[in-house]
Amino acid sequence: MLVGFKSQNHPQQTRYAGSNPDVDDRALPTEEFAKLDERFKFSIDVAASAENTKCERYCTAQVSGLEWSWKGERVYCNPPYSDILPWIRKAWAEPEAEIVVMLLPANRTEQKWWQLGIEPYRDRAGSVLRVEFMSGRIRFLKPGQIVIGPNERPPFGSVLCVWDWEGSRLPAHRTLFENQD
């Protein structure tokens, strides 16, 4: 037993039964979103509030992104981290979306949402799902926060899970590895 050791879990890491705004309302800084948007050209933010939405069109806890159709959409999704599995199920249930890009914590891969919905399918030949482990750590913003303090970087990295439904409908193509220093 570690004597005098105080758990330093970041709030976004802690599991709660039910939603918790302090955990679930962490927003991606605009400049980080811009990098993703340049690549993916999103049409809708499906997990948002009026204050933190990254797209003009968005869903909220009231007009749920889990109920809304994603058909024909280029979906940006940074879901509430207290309950990720329903969002994974939703991504799989929307094959008529163009693309679904979900931003998730990269260090909870032992949990059910990853083991059930991501691990068996990711990066397999012919699979619509690929994952990209991101470099560095994103400093998410609390509600109302504009400036991020020096010690507020969360103790976990992020992973992008990409369901390329549109790509899966195109003729198969081969991607060659390019060594980039």
Residues that bind ligand SAM (CB under 6 A): 24-28, 45, 47-49, 52-54, 59-61, 64-66, 78-80
Tell me how far apart the terminal alpha carbons of the chain are, to the nearest angstrom: 43
Question: Residue 93: is it exposed, middle or buried by C-beta count within 10 angstroms (0-12/13-18/19+)?
Answer: exposed
Largest CA distance in the chain: 59
Provide the minimum distance between the beta carbon of 174 and ligand SAM in the complex, in angstroms, as a whole number. Answer: 33
- What distance in Å separates the CA atoms of residue 67 and residue 64, rounded to the nearest whole number? 5
Quote the least distance from Cβ 65 to ligand SAM, whole Å.
4
Nearer to ligand SAM, 60 or 168 (CB): 60
Looking at the Cβ atoms of 45 and 164, the one nearer to ligand SAM is 45
Q: Which is nearer to ligand SAM, 49 or 109 (CB)?
A: 49
Helix (H, G, I), strand (E, B) or coil at 58: strand
Name the minimum Å distance from CB 26 to ligand SAM. Answer: 5
Choose between 26 and 74: whose C-beta lies nearer to ligand SAM: 26
Task: Tell the smallest beta-carbon distance from residue 79 to ligand SAM (Å).
Answer: 6
Q: Which residue has the tokens 């369901």?
A: 163
Taking phi over 0 as left and psi of -120 to 50 as alpha, with beta for the rest, 136 belongs to left
Looking at the Cβ atoms of 79 and 117, the one nearer to ligand SAM is: 79
Closest distance between ligand SAM and the C-beta of residue 160, in Å? 12
Q: Quickly list H helices, the chain.
A: 21-24, 30-40, 85-92, 112-117, 165-168
